[in-house]
Structure 1
């Protein structure tokens, strides 16, 4: 992931010192954060590495969104504002003044105050597919994900968690495709639906 991050920063003429400092800052934040059983560096971010590597030239906005999407994470509350603030702090220190990159990244991070920008629809589809990769993982990996996710919502009793989780899973099955991009659909859609159907059955038992 370091090489991916550094290459993106170099293309924007961000100094290696600042880029490397922020890479380590993000990594430490996602490793050390309390309550990050799944939404952490190893379980979530590194899962996306192979697919970012395969992309011939991933955009800076996608990469920045991937790195800052869960910079702050709390299962009890929305952290969009804090993550946008962290990204803005990075931009300030890095001297990044490209408003298109800054606004599009913040929009991808969930800032609803920003109007939809050119390229947003395509990039949000890819960002969301990267985030949903785990749904199409082999059964043993999926079961691990389920266990770790449940720990992140330990503040909920079993009945409340099951109700919330069932709502999410059943919504996935109601839409025509879970994954928005053709590549992810062909690779993961079938397995994802099987995993979700099995989890729903177990939650209802």
Structure 2
């Protein structure tokens, strides 16, 4: 849950972002309200406004390597707009929602197509292959930056993920989560931008290894 101050800051950042596409604040705010409501749903324990705020902080440090950060920022806003842990098409539906909500505001088609491609990339289906462009690198690194967080923040993240999958039996969850962690650990590179790799790879691998050990050892899943 974000504070009222952070919520207001996110709203102002949204208005500035849409102003770059010549969308008035009056037209932009209703879409913000829809997004804020989606990310504030009671079953959003991790994929919420706090996650967005953390992604924006990371992306702000990485966007020096891109010429136009606006599509990345729009993709951050929408990448988890549709989130159902029981579904396999969240990214596709989120990309479609972005086009549905932003198109009528006058955001150009080429920008919508670019944002849609970025959102779809957050399915992380090509984990072992370098992303095709710098914007995708930034977005994916921001999305996974939590893996390299301080141990206390990582533990809270792991617990929040478990809460989002509360409907999954414990043994089944442990097996599935362990498989996810092992796939991450098997990757030659967790982060694609040089800065994120240099700062995050070592702590991320330590966090993943510690969680995996806990899952195998029968301790509560964070």
Alpha-carbon distance change, 125 to 59 in structure 1, aligned in 2, over 3 angstroms:
same
Taking only aligned residues, the RMSD between alpha carbons, in angstroms, comes to 1.9
- TM-score, normalised relative to structure 2: 0.81
Match of 1:25 in 2: 34
Residue 91 of structure 2 corresponds to which residue in structure 1? 80
Does 2:177 match 1:170? no
**Structure 1: runs of 5+ lacking an equivalent:** 112-118
Contact 1:9 1:19 in 2 (8 A): yes
Structure 2 residue ranges without an equivalent (≥5) = 1-9, 122-130, 218-222
Say whether 1:50 aligns with 2:50.
no
Counterpart for residue 202 of structure 1: 214
CA contact (8 A) 1:135 1:192 kept: yes
Match of 2:46 among 38, 42, 45: 38
177, 188, 191: which is aligned to 2:203?
Answer: 191
1:1-205 paired onto structure 2 within 5 Å: 1-31=10-40, 33-42=41-50, 44-54=51-61, 55=63, 59-77=69-87, 78-96=89-107, 98-110=108-120, 121-205=133-217
Match of 1:115 in 2: none
TM-score of the pair, normalised by structure 1: 0.87
Residues 174-197 of structure 1, C-alpha deviations (whole Å, 9 max, x = no match)? 111111111101111110010011
**What is the alpha-carbon distance in structure 1 between the residues aligned to residue 68 and residue 185 of structure 2?**
29
Alpha-carbon offset, residue 58 of structure 1: 5.3
The CA deviation string for residues 8-64 of structure 1, in whole angstroms up to 9 with x for no partner, is 211211122112222222112211x2421111112x111123234444575221111
Deviation at 1:95, TM superposition (A): 1.6
CA shift for structure 1 position 166: 1.1
Secondary structure at 1:132's aligned position in 2? helix
Q: Which residue of 2 aligns with 1:116?
A: none
Name the counterpart of 2:7. none
